[in-house]
Amino acid sequence: MERLNLLRAGCFLLLLIDEGDAAVELQSASITLTKGDALLLTAMEPFAFSTGGAFLGIWVEIPVWWLIELCRGGVIGARRRLDGRLGTTAVLRETLSILLGEDRGGEEANNLVDLFGDVLARNLLIAARGEWAYEGQIDRINRFIADNYRTPGLSPRDAGRALGCSLSSIHKCCASAGWTFGGMLTSMRLSVAAHRLSRGYLGVSAVAFDCGFSSLTHFCHAFKARYGVTASSVRKQYGLIAG
């Protein structure tokens, strides 16, 4: 059994299985999966992953803010299992296969990414019908950030007021996931900025300020540190879709 340490701020992990069986052990649940199934997990919750026999699958990182926007604010929950026997799950797998099948760039790649997101959102909303959505404290903090990252000066105190908990509980919850509130906020802002710059709709400064950064210089330094390229180069290439 492999222990995955993928505590990434501001993202979900999507597992799609083409062959074999798998099991995911979380702190509060055990989930079994088989051929054709898919599973969405928060990347902020540690888990153990194991497979049985010949196995073929793929992990995809999905930005929280993007999925929340696609689901129009609906409660996604920290985990969702998508049944491989459903036609909608098969369509999801086929859409990803088309997206990854050839080296595509520019507008075609962006359109395929949008299609994949729309199909995933529809699958999650179908799976959510009549099913209780588990959402832990770290997931609620992530959701708060996804809803408010555009606000300059957003603070953990703001999160505590909105979520009805103390400032210390916000700090402890983030620390338990190996992050600070500020680190999670910056990570999500950069993810949104990379996505928008890759579409080429706005200039670097417009994207930076719209994503909540109050300093263009700070944004440019943070962007280069995270992605290894400059924000202006992404704006020119239109080819980087980051999570």
- What local confidence, expressed as pLDDT, does residue 177 receive? 79
Sequence-ordered list of residues with C-beta below 8 angstroms from that of 192, at least 6 positions apart, any chain: 63, 65, 149, 211
- What local confidence, expressed as pLDDT, does residue 66 receive? 85
CA diameter of the chain: 52
CA–CA dist 153, 131 (Å, integer): 36
- What local confidence, expressed as pLDDT, does residue 164 receive? 94
Which H or E run contains 96?
helix 87-101
pTM score over 0.75: no
- Output the tens digit of pLDDT for each of the chain's 243 residues: 333 333 455 678 899 999 999 998 887 778 899 999 998 887 666 788 899 878 999 998 888 888 888 877 665 656 788 888 888 888 888 888 888 876 666 677 778 888 888 888 888 877 776 555 566 788 889 889 988 999 999 999 999 999 999 999 999 999 987 889 999 999 889 988 988 888 877 889 999 999 999 999 999 999 999 889 899 988 887 644 444
Domain residue spans in the chain? 2-128, 137-237
Residue whose token pair is 């928060």: 42
> What's the CATH code, domain 137-237?
1.10.10.60
- What local confidence, expressed as pLDDT, does residue 181 receive? 94
- Which of the four CATH numbers 3.30.160.270, 3.30.470.10, 2.130.10.10, 2.60.120.280 does domain 2-128 have? 2.60.120.280
Cα 127 from chain centroid (whole Å): 18
- What local confidence, expressed as pLDDT, does residue 10 receive? 62
- What local confidence, expressed as pLDDT, does residue 224 receive? 92
SS3 per residue for 125-170 = HHHHCCCCCCCCHHHHHHHHHHHHCCCCCCCHHHHHHHHCCCHHHH
Q: How do the residues of the chain divide into helix, strand and coil, expressed in percent and rounded to 5?
A: 50, 20, 30
Give bridge partners of residue 24 from the DSSP assignment: 31, 49
Give bridge partners of residue 52 from the DSSP assignment: 21
- What local confidence, expressed as pLDDT, does residue 241 receive? 42
